[in-house]
Amino acid sequence: MPSPPDSPASRLPSTALAAYALALAWGSLFPMTGWRDAGTPLLGFLLDPWPRWWTIADLVFNLIIYLPAGLLVALLLRQRGLRRAAVPLALIAGSAAALGLEALQTLLPGRVPSRLDWLANSAGTLVGALAAPLGERLVSESQRALDARRAISPSDSAAGLLLLGAWLLIQWPGQRLLFGQGDLRPLLESLASLAGLGRSADPLAWRLTVAHTEFAEALGVAMSLVTIGLLVRELLPTRAPRSAITTGLMTAALLLKTALAAEAGRPLAWLTAGAQGGLLAGAVLLALAASAPRKARLCMSLAALAVSSVCSTLFPLDAYFATAQADRAGSGWRNLEGLLRGAAALWPWVTAAWCVRRLRALGPTPAPGPTQTNAPGPL
């Protein structure tokens, strides 16, 4: 059922498409290093023989990964009145993007562009575009639900929802500490290398010692829990079940951690002493911060994001974790893991930018008049 005529078009498809395009480019071109001219035409793979070895899993993955491309492009075209042309235009756009990214893989070592991958990507785009009418109805229903419960502008609401969804996704790769997003160590290592500082500026030397492991993990986990809780409170109004939604997000993340750890026979490997202390401390801190004015909560979110990033960056070296990650690096999910690790490193800073945008949207706090008191802002 379409939205009422006076209801503005949802910003979720356009915001999601921008985030998806960046993620797709990063994942397709990971690790983004070692570019070289192989001496072959960029589109030469289109004339290569069909690959002798391929798997159904790879084919299905290449198809599924482009479903959002067709769906989101078709949704945007339908919003702009191009309903009949939505499917062919979405197919052209998705297929062209897949072709360009496959061609760029020619310049990366260890990457082999494939005509079969490109065709699977194009097929995924087509399937996603054909699902646009159903997606439009779902977006319309979600739009009406948000209109009834929205606490902030449509664009900020869409971006905030994507940040929460991205936070769940970045829990998939292995992490040195629970909810360990914002690890800037690879960036610091690259900057030190570019600056020619050598071992004297090796970020490994900046790590905390093993004696600080539990404290760093507890602090990082607590700050992550506070961040998610305050983000939910900023997105939804007072009448919404914000505590239940926060609990549901944390539970979903922990279930994902449990399922992934179960593959190694240690389903509760994440439940360390530091994680236990962090979850308890985070719940207490969130309960105390929940009643603060909106601007204060946003400032606390910024501080929590910075602290959690510092904890992830300086977390003590774990030889077992490093070995496990080296084993996973050669798996078929290397590109997806690289994408999610990059997203995990950027997530706190993108979220911080969102919080700053919200602070600016709230405007300056009015000075209390002669008969006014310093009452807290709206929840």
* Domain assignments of the chain as residue spans, ordered by start: 12-149, 154-328+335-361
Report the amino acid identity of residue 197. Answer: L
Q: Which tens digit of pLDDT belongs to each residue from 212-256?
A: 788 888 998 999 999 999 999 888 877 778 888 899 889 988 888
362 has a pLDDT exceeding 90: no
At 324, list the tokens: 């496990």
Which ranges of 105-209 does DSSP label H, i.e. alpha helix?
115-130, 132-149, 154-169, 185-194
Q: Which residue has the higher pLDDT, 12 or 4?
A: 12
pTM of this structure:
0.62
146 has a pLDDT exceeding 60: no
Integer Cα distance of 132 and 3 in angstroms: 15
Cβ proximity of 149 and 233 under 8 Å: no
Mean pLDDT over residues 125-133, rounded? 90
* pLDDT reported for residue 371: 47
Distant-in-sequence contacts of 237-242, Cβ < 8 A, 24+ apart: 237/149, 237/150, 237/151, 238/378, 238/379, 239/149, 240/149, 240/151
* pLDDT reported for residue 332: 47
Look at phi and psi of residue 240 and say left if phi exceeds 0, alpha if psi is from -120 to 50, else beta: beta
How does DSSP assign 185-229, residue by residue? HHHHHHHHHHTT-GGGG-GGGGSPPGGGHHHHHHHHHHHHHHHHH
Report the amino acid identity of residue 35. Answer: W
Report cis status (omega within 30 of 0) of the bond before 31: yes
At 96, list the tokens: 């062209």
Report the C-alpha dihedral over residues 239, 285, 341, 259, rounded to 10 degrees.
Answer: -80
